[in-house]
Amino acid sequence: MAQQVIGQQSIQLQTPVSILSGASIVGKKEGEGPLGDVFDMVGDDPMFGTNSWEEAESTLQKETAALAIAKAGLEKWQIRMIYAGDLLAQSVASSFGIADFQIPVYGLYGACSTMGEALSLGAMAVAGGYAEHVLSVTSSHFGSAEKEFRFPLSYGNQRPLSATWTVTGSGACVLGESGGNAQIVGLTTGKIVDYGLKDSQNMGACMAPAACDTIYQNFMDFNRMPEDYDRIVTGDLGEVGQRILWDLLMEKGYDIRKQHMDCGLEIYDGKTQDTHSGGSGCGCAASVFASYILPKVEKGEWKRVLFVPTGALLSKVSFNEGKSVPGIAHGVVLESIEKGAE
Amino acid sequence: MAQQVIGQQSIQLQTPVSILSGASIVGKKEGEGPLGDVFDMVGDDPMFGTNSWEEAESTLQKETAALAIAKAGLEKWQIRMIYAGDLLAQSVASSFGIADFQIPVYGLYGACSTMGEALSLGAMAVAGGYAEHVLSVTSSHFGSAEKEFRFPLSYGNQRPLSATWTVTGSGACVLGESGGNAQIVGLTTGKIVDYGLKDSQNMGACMAPAACDTIYQNFMDFNRMPEDYDRIVTGDLGEVGQRILWDLLMEKGYDIRKQHMDCGLEIYDGKTQDTHSGGSGCGCAASVFASYILPKVEKGEWKRVLFVPTGALLSKVSFNEGKSVPGIAHGVVLESIEKGAE
């Protein structure tokens, strides 16, 4: 088997993997934001017709996955494996979301970086000849996540300005051996990076060092500069995390301000939507990727993009026990098919 | 890229992946069980020198991972990626366990099936040319898991006879392109199987249908009979789950009683150790695999083994909301190197 590794922690796929479809479904608040028009569906009912926030998230994820499969022109049985994750304890949103599909599943946990992990492992499976088609999907729900990490919604606690707002949304992509107009050509697997920060209401600051680490390593491994990418897209650093990321990379000699974009800053209008530092959650990067980033690459408006969703690796228990909040970020290099053919 | 798929949900690796080492560390109770002599280390202190059950589990996982790397004769920097998971909410035992290694990480969640998932994805990475060496590791701890899923230990609740006892233990394997005396030659990725059972104190019954599904599919995909395996090893079905698995497979025309073994039944002496139905937890299958199953294959005593750890996909929240407990099982086909060369 020919080696596909490059540099210290990256993979250069010898056979690029096609992204055949991207689908997104979000909640009402996300539908009212700046990207409201690009999502495939906006659910007016935050319960998505169910009786609990967790069931709501499962339904959201299931519908998004089904939509991605349909948009790829495929049937469920043509998907060989699903790579799925969410934010909830024991990833139950995914387990109950996709069980009905009766497709083999690898459950993932990378906090809000999970879509990067799901696309990475999915691409490795397709490029390795282990599957003709795979589905990568993640989700989050404001109701289920607030309850999991902070307080019950009815408690109505105040939120500091550095806090982010968990996106109610799901994004799914079907990856395949050929077809489509965008492809995954490289990966940079993230390390766990811990600067010792402990504020779960400032996750941008906790995750920025991990984003810096992965982006820097991507530049090193592929021997690239920021301008080699049309966009460098983080997941949910928000305003605070974005500034820290810029500063950290500047210290290493890289100015990414022209190329950088953060899904958490795109999805809400912070001024009018009271979302403080921005959006977050597994569904943030995933829904913005599927509905906004991917189409730009498919159309060739952006020839090459580095997508780097970031995750904060905390739990209620680790927080209550006074542990720090380590971060992780997984990098996925996308190219428009035209670019790949050059 | 040549296709490596076989049947409906299996992979036949064109390049088998070597298992270079297996390491296990367990707690005192496990050390007093029938397998006490085969584990690499037994910790007398259930806190493993830390201040919380969660830190104890992280330390346990870290030490086991380090031991596996050392036993493979490698240094940390030679491990390209880690595939890791545990049972805790947001997989925090893994996040805090292996952060210090500064090795790229893919976080996994498959409940007690996670070692099967970690070995599967790790083998796919090595066989695909994405890494020369990877580490697969999982852990569980009686103290951290009881608190997560049931009650604080100090509550001293009674346990029904169908309940299993969470193993304090961790198992880790280093996979590589060549070397070693055992290899991974095939995989059967599990589907989520839900028979609607809701009793979290009878997880064997919840997981048995998933084990049946994966084992049956493995027979179909590879066109094999039970006697084509020297052992078929499930993770932690325990006494109740084992009987259900036998019955379910018998209904499909397969009698696996001669080949079947369950890690949860091997690790404790149910008669004297008060462990009811058997052992369970991510660390059960992983530690028994690394210390007992793998050496048998390495020595050629067992030529071909199907290792099928089983997971129960519940959380405290899903249980309290009255949801069922779906199961999943990932199959890994191992062969002794002699067998592979025949």
Mean of the per-residue pLDDT values of chain B: 95
Mean of the per-residue pLDDT values of chain A: 95
* Residue B251 binned pLDDT confidence (cut-offs 50, 70, 90): very high
From chain B, the residues in CB contact with A4 under 8 A are 128-130
Same domain, A34 and A110: yes
| Region label for A75, one of left (φ > 0), alpha (ψ between -120 and 50) or beta (otherwise) | beta
Asked if the model's pLDDT at residue B342 lies above 50, the reply is no
Same domain, B105 and B153: yes
Would you call B92 an interface residue with chain A, using a CB distance cutoff of 8 Å?
yes
The structure tokens 């992983």 sit at B286
- The nearest CA of chain A is from the CA of B16 a distance in Å of 11
* Residue A115 binned pLDDT confidence (cut-offs 50, 70, 90): very high
Interchain proximity A109–B85, CB inside 8 Å: yes
Cα–Cα distance for residue pair A291/B258, rounded to 1 Å: 53
Tens of pLDDT, residue by residue over A65-108, are 999 999 999 999 999 999 999 999 999 999 999 999 999 999 99
In a domain, B79, yes or no: yes
- pLDDT attached to residue A150: 83
Asked if the model's pLDDT at residue A209 lies above 80, the reply is yes
Q: What is the mean pLDDT of residues B285-311?
A: 98
* Residue A2 binned pLDDT confidence (cut-offs 50, 70, 90): low
* Mutation target vs A (from B10, B13, B61, B109; most A CBs, 10 A cutoff): B109
- Given B176, B198, B230, the domain boundary residue is B176
**What is the ipTM score, two decimals?**
0.96
In a domain, B8, yes or no: no
- pLDDT attached to residue B341: 47
| Closest residue on chain A to B52 (Cα) | A321
Task: Please tell me whether residue A67 adopts helix, strand or coil conformation.
Answer: helix
Q: What is the mean pLDDT of residues B77-105?
A: 96
- The nearest CA of chain B is from the CA of A293 a distance in Å of 24
- pLDDT attached to residue A341: 47
In a domain, B170, yes or no: yes
| pTM exceeds 0.90, yes or no | yes
Q: What is the mean pLDDT of residues A126-134?
A: 97
- pLDDT attached to residue A157: 84
Interchain proximity A52–B313, CB inside 8 Å: no
Same domain, A186 and A315: yes
Same domain, B116 and B213: no
Residues 272-311 of A with CB under 8 A from B: none
Same domain, A203 and A148: no
Which burial class, exposed, middle or buried, applies to B341 when counting CB atoms under 10 A from its CB (0-12, 13-18, 19+)?
exposed
The residue segments making up the domain with residue B110 are 17-176
Of B108, B22, B121, B17, which Cα lies nearest the Cα of B65? B22
The total domain count for chain A is 2
* Residue B340 binned pLDDT confidence (cut-offs 50, 70, 90): very low
What is chain B's Cα-based Rg? 18
- pLDDT attached to residue A339: 46
Residues β-bridged to residue B283: none
In a domain, B220, yes or no: yes
From chain B, the residues in CB contact with A322 under 8 A are none
- pLDDT attached to residue A181: 97
Given B89, B105, B313, which is nearest A192 (Cβ)?
B105
Q: What is the mean pLDDT of residues B255-266?
A: 98
Same domain, B119 and B146: yes
Separation of CA A63 from chain center: 18
In a domain, B9, yes or no: no
Given A108, A189, A326, which is nearest B95 (Cβ)?
A326
Would you call B58 an interface residue with chain A, using a CB distance cutoff of 8 Å?
no
* Residue A14 binned pLDDT confidence (cut-offs 50, 70, 90): very high
Asked if the model's pLDDT at residue B2 lies above 80, the reply is no
Same domain, B222 and B311: yes
Would you call A106 an interface residue with chain B, using a CB distance cutoff of 8 Å?
yes
Residues 168-187 of B with CB under 8 A from A: 177
Interchain proximity A313–B104, CB inside 8 Å: no
More confident residue, B187 or A342: B187
Same domain, B106 and B213: no
From chain A, the residues in CB contact with B122 under 8 A are none
Of A50, A92, A313, A86, which Cα lies nearest the Cα of B315? A92
- Given A150, A176, A202, the domain boundary residue is A176
Asked if the model's pLDDT at residue A340 lies above 70, the reply is no
Element holding A80 (H helix, E strand) = none
- pLDDT attached to residue A3: 73
Q: What proportion of chain B, given as a percentage, has pLDDT over 70? A: 98
Cα–Cα distance for residue pair B169/B171, rounded to 1 Å: 7
Q: What angle do CA B186, B189, B192 make, to 5 degrees?
A: 160
Domain CATH number, residue B288: 3.40.47.40
By the 8 A CB rule, do B189 and B228 touch? no
Please provide residue A186's backbone torsions phi and psi, each rounded to the nearest 5 degrees.
-155, 160
Same domain, B150 and B25: yes
Given B90, B105, B131, which is nearest A315 (Cβ)?
B90
Tens of pLDDT, residue by residue over B75-87, are 999 999 999 999 9
By the 8 A CB rule, do A159 and A150 touch? no
Interchain proximity A107–B108, CB inside 8 Å: yes
- The nearest CA of chain A is from the CA of B88 a distance in Å of 7
CA dihedral sign, ordered A126, A130, A131, A135: negative
Cα dist from A1 to A271, B20, B78, B134, B335, whole Å: 53, 18, 18, 16, 20
Same domain, A211 and A318: yes
Would you call A318 an interface residue with chain B, using a CB distance cutoff of 8 Å?
yes
* Residue A1 binned pLDDT confidence (cut-offs 50, 70, 90): low
By the 8 A CB rule, do A88 and A102 touch? no
By the 8 A CB rule, do A95 and B192 touch? yes
Residues 6+ apart with CB under 8 A from B172: B22, B23, B24, B61, B64, B65, B67, B68, B135, B136, B137, B286, B290
Asked if the model's pLDDT at residue B23 lies above 80, the reply is yes
Q: What is the mean pLDDT of residues A179-192?
A: 97
- The nearest CA of chain A is from the CA of B237 a distance in Å of 19
Task: Please tell me whether residue A40 adopts helix, strand or coil conformation.
Answer: coil
Query: Which tokens is B250 given?
Result: 């018998």
Given B9, B54, B90, which is nearest A104 (Cβ)?
B9
- Given A176, A204, A221, the domain boundary residue is A176
Same domain, B149 and B205: no
Please provide residue B339's backbone torsions phi and psi, each rounded to the nearest 5 degrees.
-55, -45
- pLDDT attached to residue B1: 54
Same domain, A286 and A244: yes
Residues 6+ apart with CB under 8 A from B285: B112, B113, B115, B116, B138, B171, B234, B235, B236, B263, B264, B307, B309, B310
Asked if the model's pLDDT at residue A224 lies above 70, the reply is yes
